Structure 1
Amino acid sequence: MLEVANLDARYGRAQILNGVSLSLGQNEVVAVLGRNGAGKSTTMKSIMGMVRQKTGQITYEGQSILGKPSHAICRAGVGYVPEERRIFGELTVEENLEVGRRDKRDDAPEWTLEHLFELFPNLNERRKNLGKQLSGGEQQMLTIARTLMGNPKMVLLDEPSEGIAPVIVEQMANVIAELKREGLSVLISEQNLHFARLVSDRAYIIEKGSVCYDGTFDHLDQNPEISNKYLAV
């Protein structure tokens, strides 16, 4: 579904990504792991067309999206949940969700308010509350739910477990499992190895803007020196 090959990215004169290559298959959950500042978020933003200075190849469903604007990539079926919880604080939960509504795609599951409130019961209980009245974890859930209202085929989640309570992290793992059951493909950037292992089929590790690991979590478990070298704080 997604192929990234030899991706370089820069912010001004600063080289952030160096030849990053990765792939995401249909109905697959893949984690991009790495320490803070390793290049995970830049990888996600590059895929979404949010980094101007980049070279390489980014292919989605067989078509190049390199150089395309973010809104065109979104319309093609790619949903993006940024690291920052960008909700509308003065709108209710329901109104925040309606902002993200798009027509159903023939080749993607349809997400209605009712469906989302089943998946996110906390949001259902607070559907009339303003966005600014939610906890950090609830705001993260709302951001994901709003993205799903666009009926994407593939979702990019940037650091979804960062800064939220363990009970919400557990709920988030259940949500990602449900997305896979619904047929979505999910690419996750994460520092939390435990969370990534819970939800992902396999993983990449990025260090200083380059991919230094591409494999399974079983292999990581059998070779702890890899995670100790590239993920330990």
Structure 2
Amino acid sequence: MLNVESAHVAIGSVQVLRGLSLAVPAQSMVGLIGRNGAGKTTLLRTVMGHLTPSQGRISFEGQDLASVPRHARAALGIGYMPEDRGLVPELSVEENILVPLWATGMRSTRARLDFIYGVLPELAEMRARRALLLSGGQQKLVALARALGVGTRLLLLDEPFEGVAPALSMRLADVIAGLRGGALSVLIAQSDLNHSRKLVDAEVVIERGANAVVEAAG
């Protein structure tokens, strides 16, 4: 599904990724584990086209993403949940979910919203509420819903449990666990696996932008 081969990525003059490789097989969940600053966010932003590798190759379902412009990657079925949530504060919950659907030209927005509200029914109750009025944990749920909107093939989740109260962390873990066994593949970037060790099929450990350990999750 997603294959990263010896990716090198710099931000300005700083080399962040130094030959990182990983694979996310179809219908699997993979944990990308590393300390803050290890390069996890850089990898996800590179997959989404915000950054460009100077060396290496990133492919999605066999297609080299170098040939796919940034604005077209979500339309491939890739959903991205950034660590900082990235919501538009003045828009409602539903409008924030719909923005990437509109941007990709998805026609069946009603069906997709019905799917999202089926997975996250609590959001249906607050669909008209502006994002700036939500708690940090509620904003995480909306960010996950937005990623699910376009992420029909692959989800990239950056620190989904960071800064979230324990009850909402458990809720997020339940939602992500409920995606197992479907058509989606999921890459979860985290500082540790406290919330998702039971979720992932494999772990990739990143240190200073390179692979440290790749092992099957227990």
Scaled by the length of structure 2, what TM-score is found? 0.91
Q: Could you tell me which amino acid in structure 2 is paired with residue 137 of structure 1?
A: G
- Please say if residues 103 and 151 of structure 1, whose CA atoms lie closer than 8 Å, have aligned partners that are also in contact: no
Quickly say closer, same or farther: Cα 1:111–1:82, change in 2 above 3 A: farther
Residue 209 of structure 1: CA displacement?
Answer: 0.9
Residue 18 of structure 1: CA displacement?
Answer: 0.8
- Please say if residues 11 and 53 of structure 1, whose CA atoms lie closer than 8 Å, have aligned partners that are also in contact: no
Report the equivalent of 2:139.
139
Report the equivalent of 1:203.
203
Scaled by the length of structure 1, what TM-score is found? 0.85
Report the equivalent of 2:177.
177
Q: Could you tell me which amino acid in structure 2 is paired with residue 144 of structure 1?
A: L
Q: Deviations over 1:188-208 (max 9, x none)?
A: 100132113032111011011
Q: Deviations over 1:29-52 (max 9, x none)?
A: 001000101111111111111113
Q: How does 1:105-116 map to 2 (within 5 A)?
A: 112-116=112-116
Counterpart CA distance in 2 for 1:169 and 1:192 is 14
Where 1:46 maps in the other structure, the secondary structure is helix
Q: How does 1:186-201 map to 2 (within 5 A)?
A: 186-201=186-201
Identical amino acids, percent of aligned pairs: 37
Report the equivalent of 2:54.
54
Q: CA RMSD in A?
A: 1.8
Q: Deviations over 1:49-90 (max 9, x none)?
A: 111353201111111113632212212221111111111211
Counterpart CA distance in 2 for 1:138 and 1:199 is 21
Report the equivalent of 1:226.
none
Please identify, of 196-205 and 62-71, the stretch whose mean Cα deviation from structure 2 is larger: 62-71
Q: Could you tell me which amino acid in structure 2 is paired with residue 159 of structure 1?
A: E
Report the equivalent of 1:103.
106
Q: Could you tell me which amino acid in structure 2 is paired with residue 18 of structure 1?
A: R
Report the equivalent of 2:128.
128
> Structure 1: which 4+ aligned runs deviate by more than 3 Å?
none
Higher relative contact order (CA 8 A, sep 6+): 2
Structure 1: stretches of 5+ with no match in the other structure = 219-233
Q: Could you tell me which amino acid in structure 1 is paired with residue 131 of structure 2?
A: G
Counterpart CA distance in 1 for 2:96 and 2:51 is 26
